[in-house]
Structure 1
Amino acid sequence: MSVSQASLQEEQSRECRFLSYMFYQAVRDQKPVWTLEDMRTMKCFYWEENASERCYSPSEAMLYAVVHDHRPYAQHLLSHFPEDALRMPGDKFCCCPSSAPHLAMAVTYDRRDILAMILEVAHRRPALGAYIDRTGCFHLEDGKTPLHLACELLRAETILVLLGNGASPRIRDGKGQTALDVILEQLWDSKVNVESKKRCLDYLLLFRPSLQFKMKAVLQEHPGYWTALLGDDKYRYLVGSRPATLYLRAMQTVLQCLPPSHFPRSVQELPIPHALKPLPAHCKKLQL
Structure 2
Amino acid sequence: MPWSVRWVGGCGAQSQKQCKKSSFAFYQAVRDLLPVWFLEDMRTMEAFHWEDGGKVSVYSPSEALLYALVHDHQPYARHLLTKFPQSALAVPSQSFSCCQSAPHLAMAVRYNRVRVLFRILKAIQVLPPSDRAAHLDRQGCSRVEGGKTALHMACELVRPECLLLLLGHGAAPCLRDSAGNTPLDTLLQQISHLPAANMRAKLLCLDCLFFFVPQDLKFSMKQQLLDNRQQWLDLLGENRFQCLVGLAPPSLFVGAMRVLIRTISPEHFPEALDNLPLPHFLKPLDLKLES
> How many angstroms does 1:136 deviate by?
1.0
1:202 is aligned, of 179, 203, 207, to 207
Structure 1 pair 24/251, CA: closer, same or farther in 2 (3 Å)? same
Structure 1 pair 276/69, CA: closer, same or farther in 2 (3 Å)? closer
Pair 1:175 & 2:193 matched: no
Q: Which residue does the alignment assign to 1:119?
A: 121
Number of residue pairs matched by the alignment: 280
Structure 1 pair 161/45, CA: closer, same or farther in 2 (3 Å)? closer
Q: For residues 12 and 219 of structure 1, what CA distance do their matches in structure 2 show? A: 59
Cα RMSD (Å): 2.2
> How many angstroms does 1:153 deviate by?
0.6
> How many angstroms does 1:36 deviate by?
0.8
One-letter amino acid of the structure 1 residue matched with residue 39 of structure 2: L
User: What are the ranges of 5 or more consecutive residues in structure 2 without an aligned counterpart?
Assistant: 1-7
Contact 2:271 2:288 in 1 (8 A): no
> How many angstroms does 1:269 deviate by?
1.3
Q: For residues 36 and 10 of structure 2, what CA distance do their matches in structure 1 show? A: 35
Q: Which residue does the alignment assign to 1:109?
A: 111
Pair 1:265 & 2:271 matched: yes
Q: Which residue does the alignment assign to 1:29?
A: 32
For residues 131-146 of structure 1, what are the structure 2 equivalents within 5 Å? 131-146=135-150
For residues 33-48 of structure 1, what are the structure 2 equivalents within 5 Å? 33-46=36-49
One-letter amino acid of the structure 1 residue matched with residue 170 of structure 2: G
Q: For residues 191 and 281 of structure 2, what CA distance do their matches in structure 1 show? A: 25
> How many angstroms does 1:257 deviate by?
2.1
> How many angstroms does 1:49 deviate by?
6.4
> How many angstroms does 1:139 deviate by?
2.3
Pair 1:59 & 2:65 matched: no
> How many angstroms does 1:6 deviate by?
9.9
One-letter amino acid of the structure 1 residue matched with residue 249 of structure 2: P
> How many angstroms does 1:32 deviate by?
1.1
Post-superposition Cα deviations, 1:102-128, rounded to whole Å, max 9, x if no partner, equal 111111011111101100000012263
For residues 176-255 of structure 1, what are the structure 2 equivalents within 5 Å? 176-190=180-194, 191-209=196-214, 211-255=217-261
Q: Which residue does the alignment assign to 1:165?
A: 169
For residues 142-153 of structure 1, what are the structure 2 equivalents within 5 Å? 142-153=146-157
Q: For residues 147 and 105 of structure 2, what CA distance do their matches in structure 1 show? A: 14
Post-superposition Cα deviations, 1:27-73, rounded to whole Å, max 9, x if no partner, equal 11111111111111124241666652211111111111111111111
Structure 1 pair 28/152, CA: closer, same or farther in 2 (3 Å)? same
Contact 1:211 1:239 in 2 (8 A): no
Contact 1:45 1:52 in 2 (8 A): no
Q: For residues 93 and 15 of structure 1, what CA distance do their matches in structure 2 show? A: 19
Between the two proteins, what is the percent identity of the paired residues? 46
Greater shift, 189-198 or 21-30, is seen at 189-198
> How many angstroms does 1:17 deviate by?
2.7
Post-superposition Cα deviations, 1:190-245, rounded to whole Å, max 9, x if no partner, equal 22222221111111112124531000000111111112222222211111111011
One-letter amino acid of the structure 2 residue matched with residue 132 of structure 1: L
Contact 2:31 2:71 in 1 (8 A): yes
Contact 1:44 1:55 in 2 (8 A): yes
Q: Which residue does the alignment assign to 1:69?
A: 72
Q: TM-score, normalised by structure 2?
A: 0.89
Greater shift, 20-29 or 127-136, is seen at 127-136
Q: Which residue does the alignment assign to 1:20?
A: 23
